[in-house]
Amino acid sequence: MCTLSYLDWLAAGQGELKEADTARAQNPINMSGYIVGALVPIAFTLLLRNSKKVKKRGVPVDVGGEPGYAIRNSQFPSPVETAWEGISTLAELFEQACKLHYHKRLLGTRKLISREVKVPEDGRSFEKLHLGEYEWLTYGKAFEAVCNFASGMVQLCHRKEERVAIFADTREEWFIALQACFRRNVTVVTIYASLGEEALCRSLNETEVTTVICGNKELKKLVNISGQLDTVKRVICMDDEIPTSASGRWTITSFADVERVGCENPVDANLPLSADVAVIMYTSGSAGLPKGVMMTHGNVLATVSAVMTIVPGLGSKDVYLAYLPLAHILELVAENLISAVGGVIGYGTPLTLTDTSSKIKAGTKGDATVLSPTVMTAVPAILDRVRDGVRKKVDAKGGLSKKLFDLAYSRRLSAINGCWFGAWGLEKFLWDFFVFKKVRAILGGHIRFLLSGGAPLSADTQRFISICLGAPIGQGYGLTETCAGATFSEVDDTSVGRVGSSLPCSFIKLIDWPEGGYLTSDSPMPRGEIVVGGPSVTLGYFKNEEKTKEVYKVDERIMRWFYTGDIGQFHADGCLEIIDRKKDIVKLQHGEYVSLGKVEAALSISPYVDNIMLHADPFHSYCVALVVASQHAVEDWASKQGVAFTNFADLSEKEETIKEVYSSLGQIAKKSRFEKFEIPAKIKLLSTPWTPESGLVTAALKIKREAIRKAFSDDLAELYTS
């Protein structure tokens, strides 16, 4: 997952919109849409304005453990453990679905028609793919593949007490291998495909993995560190071509061969219990080395059950486009859920999602166009870029098309604000038809629900995407440690900037944090550190009891609680808003506290800012900031001002550029009414974006403070001395 991958969303947004604009400009019917659009809703708005009622989404609940203010989902008095009678593990859930939907499609992968490698003048080669239709495995065939693979592992002499690691991009084989391990009660270690060598070594060594299942790209990485992998004995490669450098180090078997020997030598399943560890998920933490989170079948099943209630009418008609990393809890839950309800999972990649994606050969189709998904998951960074891409294109067009887009947008916005979702049948239809249809076509045109997680979604993006795509966005808040369970925003909740109320599997409690000035007795809303309790709260960190004890607690009623370190407040309807982060609070030399996250969130609104990290320490009385400049905005400004420059790096070094960006930050700081010590006294402009590959942001694009501090330690020191 890299930042670049998402840039093609931006390009996609642009390409598609251009056509829409041209069509609109040539179409006289536009004008009738315009007029009807303007008149009808005004009357309705007046009629309905007063009928709005506040719906209670979360209600107070009496809980054990540390005192605080706790909320439960208003529909579920006690936390949900399973939504399926008699089912207590993911293995049972999958088997049941396969029997029920035996002849239906389950897993699909696109056929590769051709692959070209282009080497443009700058020497950086890139690949273009021509992909065909999806080829499908039915539930019945997928179940056979899973059973065969499970038996095949026995033939390879993998003992069930030993752990398996799956280290690969999201694909069909990943899911099959996962289910196969579940059937034999083998714990799966998951590792982000973009994790660095050090972290990879550490996680494989720590969990004493004996079998690694990977693609040939990842196998090359393993070969590089083979000297340090003491416990790995065998590798199962998902691709047919196995790199020659790998031979001799381990027994290497192809995925297809494992299935084949398994088919010839079937072995009975060895099903796990609910409390057995299903997955040890290594997460790229914001600080330090990654930690392995141990999740039981019961943990994941609780979240899967709870998420099912979020997506209205989820069932066997749904088609899901899978492209986020399966090593991320959100994707793992999503695919287990879709396969439980009889839905269809089509695999794609971030670089081939749309027709204009960077790896898609010109003139051929992207994953979304071919699959036409009805449900998707996304991380906020993707949605931000879709929004920016569409906006930029509209702004660049200007004139009537911009006016029309703006009008359509503001009409939809006031309809949503003034009333509940889905009102204004006629007007909505017209705007959809003339303005938003082409935007929707980027994702295949049939999206009816989007699930966003991994990081908070900005209010602006949430509104923009749900208006342009016409599909509600369910925003979830949760952590790997809580198996993604915690809160979610309901489809009919059109407020923005909040993360909703408790998922049916969780209780959410706020506890006092006096040092940070957040108390549950605060008015008008109780505030405090967010603590999550319930069956989705995981067992803890693998081989790290000390850290586990620090952030996990079991209360006298045997409920597990996880201390998130996030600060939140409860609204009157029981919905949570995240307002701060405990870890990010720094005490300055003179004793003032600076909330890094709060200041960064505010300042990142500046159009010049692509990314920002505020730095403060107890040795200085003021803070400084590293700012990754937005190339588009800064170059735009420079050309308007007639500032000459040879390239973007050169421009970012210029005194006048820094001054311009700094003054933009200053204005925002003033508007946000920041204290003087909260405003960076100096900034350093950087011209290279922070990507997961560079290790400076997580796969969900959250900044990694420690890594950035280390990488730019000289620059930070200079900011304090110069």
Ligand X SMILES: *[C@@H]1O[C@H](CO)[C@@H](O)[C@H](O)[C@H]1NC(C)=O
Residues that bind ligand X (CB under 6 A): 161, 185, 201-202, 205, 220-221, 224, 228, 230, 272-273, 276
How many angstroms separate the CA atoms of 383 and 9, rounded? 9
CB of 153 to ligand X, least distance (A): 14
How many angstroms separate the CA atoms of 168 and 187, rounded? 17
- Which CB sits closer to ligand X, 225 or 263? 225
Q: Which residues of 363-373 are buried (b: 16+ CB within 10 A; e: fewer)?
A: ebbbbbbbbeb
Contact 682, 691 (CB under 8 A): no
CB of 210 to ligand X, least distance (A): 13
- Which CB sits closer to ligand X, 88 or 372? 88
- Which CB sits closer to ligand X, 281 or 638? 281
**DSSP SS3 for 559:** coil
- Which CB sits closer to ligand X, 224 or 641? 224
Which residues pair with residue 251 across a beta bridge?
A: 234
Compute φ and ψ for 60, nearest 5 degrees: -60, 150
The residue to which tokens 């069956």 are assigned: 535
CB of 559 to ligand X, least distance (A): 23
Non-local (6+) Cβ contacts of 581 within 8 A are 565, 566, 567, 595, 596, 597
Q: Residue ranges of the alpha helices (H) in 457-594?
A: 459-469, 545-551
Compute φ and ψ for 449, nearest 5 degrees: -160, 135
Detail the DSSP E strand segments found in 575-630.
576-581, 585-587, 593-595, 609-615, 624-629
CB of 295 to ligand X, least distance (A): 14
- Which CB sits closer to ligand X, 147 or 609? 147
CB of 182 to ligand X, least distance (A): 11
CB of 219 to ligand X, least distance (A): 9
**184: closest CA among 163, 208, 204?**
163
Report residue 25 as tokens: 């400009």
- Which CB sits closer to ligand X, 205 or 687? 205
Q: Which residues of 547-583 are buried (b: 16+ CB within 10 A; e: fewer)?
A: ebeeebbeeeeebbbbbbbbbbbbbebbbbbbbbbbe
CB of 277 to ligand X, least distance (A): 7
CB of 222 to ligand X, least distance (A): 9
- Which CB sits closer to ligand X, 239 or 276? 276
How many angstroms separate the CA atoms of 182 and 273, rounded? 10
How many angstroms separate the CA atoms of 484 and 475, rounded? 12
CB of 201 to ligand X, least distance (A): 6
- Which CB sits closer to ligand X, 163 or 598? 163
- Which CB sits closer to ligand X, 183 or 560? 183
**708: closest CA among 718, 694, 722, 720?**
694
Report residue 547 as tokens: 């850290």
- Which CB sits closer to ligand X, 204 or 376? 204
**DSSP SS3 for 76:** coil
Q: Which residues of 175-212 are buried (b: 16+ CB within 10 A; e: fewer)?
A: bbbbbbbbbbbbbbbbbbbbbbeebbbbbbebbebbbb
- Which CB sits closer to ligand X, 272 or 325? 272
528, amino acid identity: G
- Which CB sits closer to ligand X, 142 or 293? 293
How many angstroms separate the CA atoms of 468 and 675, rounded? 37
- Which CB sits closer to ligand X, 276 or 635? 276
- Which CB sits closer to ligand X, 372 or 691? 691
CB of 224 to ligand X, least distance (A): 4
Q: Residue ranges of the alpha helices (H) in 347-489?
A: 367-371, 380-397, 399-418, 425-431, 437-441, 459-469
Contact 298, 162 (CB under 8 A): no
CB of 675 to ligand X, least distance (A): 45
In the DSSP assignment, the letter for residue 250 is: B
- Which CB sits closer to ligand X, 19 or 545? 545
How many angstroms separate the CA atoms of 190 and 188, rounded? 6
CB of 226 to ligand X, least distance (A): 11
CB of 601 to ligand X, least distance (A): 35
CB of 267 to ligand X, least distance (A): 15
Rg (CA), the chain: 26
How many angstroms separate the CA atoms of 25 and 315, rounded? 40
CB of 546 to ligand X, least distance (A): 17
DSSP per-residue letters across 336-367:
HHHHHTT-EEEE--TTTSSTT-TTBPTTS--H
